[in-house]
Amino acid sequence: MKEFVVYTGLRIALFVACSALVTGIWLLAFHQVDIWAIVISFVLSGVASYFLLNRQREAFARRVDERARRATSRFEEMRAREDADEPQV
């Protein structure tokens, strides 16, 4: 869960930074903020996060994979116990 919070927090911070930068440039160039400034901020923060947050994304993916493997093994164990408890016909 910690990895999720860290990665999500960094993604939000990166978006806010990109948004501030793009909005500032947009205001200097066009003297008003348009929806395109937000769209460009989303795109830039997405591309930047792909490169800058790779380590955090990998840590989050490992944690999700570990939890999925544990859940699968528990499910298989319960199913095996259930199969062993059933009477043979």
pLDDT tens digit sequence for 3-49:
899 999 999 999 999 999 999 999 999 999 989 999 999 999 999 99
Q: What is the pLDDT of residue 64?
A: 93
Structural domain of 50: 2-85
Q: Considering the entire predicted model, what is its pTM?
A: 0.74
Could you give the number of structural domains in the chain? 1
With a CB cutoff of 8 Å and minimum separation 6, the contacts of 44 are 18, 22
Predicted local distance difference test score (pLDDT) of residue 81:
83
Q: What is the pLDDT of residue 82?
A: 80
Q: At a CB cut-off of 8 Å and minimum separation 6, what does 52 contact?
A: 14
CB atoms within 10 A of CB 22: 21
What sign for the dihedral angle of Cα 59, 62, 66, 67?
positive
